[in-house]
Amino acid sequence: MLNTTDRENLLKASHSADFLVQELMSLAKAQNLLLADISIEILSQAVAIKDRLNRLATLTTSEEQSA
């Protein structure tokens, strides 16, 4: 079970990760091939982080609803 501060921080981190993924998707379309290639590499890592944060949020939400 998360306290209010932890829940808010998790939500902020999740939103930030989502924003990062969106921005990297745009950057991956850059005309500069090196920039686009690096963006795609970082994008895969950002998606993994976003997915993990979303799973944490789902787990903690379902735990709170069960309690």
Please report, for the chain, the start and end positions of each structural domain, with discontinuous segments joined by +. 4-66
- As a three-state string, the secondary structure of the chain is CCCHHHHHHHHHHHHHHHHHHHHHHHHCCCCCHHHHHHHHHHHHHHHHHHHHHHHHHHHHHHHHHHC
Question: Is-above-0.75 flag for pTM?
Answer: yes
Distance CA 40, CA 43 (A): 5
Residue 21, both tokens: 């993924």
Q: What is the pLDDT of residues 12-44, one digit of tens each?
A: 999 999 999 999 999 999 999 999 999 999 999
Higher pLDDT, 63 or 58: 58
